[in-house]
């Protein structure tokens, strides 16, 4: 598909029932929409239907501004959770970092290549260290040093900043602070984290050290949505790399960096292309 056509993408989930694909595709067709991509899935255990459908808005009879209103009755009938995004809507991203540069670097670099249909609106850190990267790419960099005592106040300020900047998606790019339940709930399924292990193995601190001590032959990285249980949110993407007895802990960290970069970037791209639906503790990824 050419990139300059205006397209709409609907993500919808609802209790499974007969005729959903037919109703939805007909609804779009009758309004002049040409479906350019449709993928669906049924969770057979919980009987939930998931669909992602994208259509060309070129000759669509409903103007972009009235899309939500138009689909309201249909989706209400299905008792659905749903959203519609336009290809022209650039999501606004905030990246949270601490001291490790590699994930931020990767996101900024790929963003420059046009891999993410989004705007990186700001970078938040508890350390000043990566300010140089923000400067290089001309993105506002906000430092909120966190101590045990000021954690709550600092997070309040971050939350306020995020809210004021109209942030849609938060990326924890090796951010070494645990977010409070309040923060997490404010952006449910819109906060992505990269954890440097193949979860659920080696959750928590120092996963490479854990992996090294356990003597595994494979290390991994996991991109997941953040929930209020640490490293337990719905998994978006994972990948692994082989290691051997020759690899020191430093080698694991070095090899793992490559994984973290790739897995976070892939997860973020899937999220920004509205390819992910959350199904309880799991994700449906229409890639």
Instruction: Assess contact for 220 and 197: CB atoms under 8 A.
Output: yes
Instruction: Assess contact for 120 and 184: CB atoms under 8 A.
Output: no
Q: Which helix (H) or strand (E) holds 3?
A: none
CB of 169 to its own copies, least distance (A): 20
Q: From residue 36, give the alpha-carbon distance in Å to each of 15, 61, 147.
A: 25, 17, 50
Near its own copies in 88-107, by CB under 8 A:
102, 105
Q: Which of 62, 81, 98, 109 forms a contact with its own copies (CB under 8 A)?
A: 109
Query: Residue 3 or 147: which CB sits closer to its own copies?
Result: 3
Query: Residue 187 or 197: which CB sits closer to its own copies?
Result: 197
Near its own copies in 181-200, by CB under 8 A:
198-200
Instruction: Assess contact for 194 and 204: CB atoms under 8 A.
Output: no
Instruction: Assess contact for 261 and 115: CB atoms under 8 A.
Output: no
Helix 249-272 vs helix 207-214: angle between axes, to the nearest 10 degrees? 130
Query: Residue 109 or 189: which CB sits closer to its own copies?
Result: 109
Q: Which of 5, 6, 15, 21 forms a contact with its own copies (CB under 8 A)?
A: 21
Given the residues 56, 168, 231, 274, the one annotated as active site: 231
Hey, is 279 helix, strand or coil? strand
Q: Determine if 226 is a binding residue for its own copies (CB under 8 A).
A: no
CB of 104 to its own copies, least distance (A): 12
Token pair 């067709």 is found at 29
Binding site for its own copies (CB under 8 A): 1, 18-23, 25-26, 28-30, 34-42, 44, 102, 105, 109, 113, 115, 136, 198-202, 213-218, 220, 234-240, 244-246, 248, 254, 257-258, 262, 279-285, 287
């Amino acid at each position: 598909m050419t990139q300059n056509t205006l397209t709409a993408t609907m993500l919808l989930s609802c209790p499974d029932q007969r005729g959903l694909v037919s109703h939805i595709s007909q609804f779009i067709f009758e309004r002049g929409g040409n479906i350019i991509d449709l993928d669906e899935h049924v969770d057979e255990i919980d009987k939930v239907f998931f669909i992602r459908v994208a259509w060309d808005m070129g000759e669509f009879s409903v103007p972009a501004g009235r899309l939500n209103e138009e689909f309201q009755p249909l989706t209400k009938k299905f008792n659905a959770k749903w959203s519609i995004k336009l290809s022209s809507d650039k999501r606004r991203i905030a990246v949270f970092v601490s001291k490790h540069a590699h994930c931020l670097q990767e996101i900024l670099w790929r963003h420059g290549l046009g891999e993410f249909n989004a705007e990186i609106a700001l970078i938040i850190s508890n350390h000043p260290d990566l300010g140089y990267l923000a400067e290089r790419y001309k993105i506002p960099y906000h430092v909120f040093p966190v101590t045990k005592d000021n954690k709550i106040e600092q997070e309040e300020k971050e939350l306020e900043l995020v809210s004021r900047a109209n942030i849609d998606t938060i990326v924890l790019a090796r951010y070494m602070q645990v977010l409070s339940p309040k923060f997490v709930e404010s952006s449910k399924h819109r906060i992505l984290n990269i954890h440097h292990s193949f979860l659920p193995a080696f959750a928590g601190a120092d996963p490479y050290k854990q992996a090294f001590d356990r003597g595994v032959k494979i290390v991994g990285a996991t991109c997941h949505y953040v929930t209020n249980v640490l490293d337990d949110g719905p998994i978006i993407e994972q990948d692994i790399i082989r290691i051997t007895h020759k690899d020191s802990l430093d080698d694991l960290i070095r090899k793992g960096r490559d994984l973290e970069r790739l897995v976070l970037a892939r997860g973020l791209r899937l999220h920004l292309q509205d390819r992910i639906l959350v199904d309880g503790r799991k994700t449906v990824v229409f890639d």
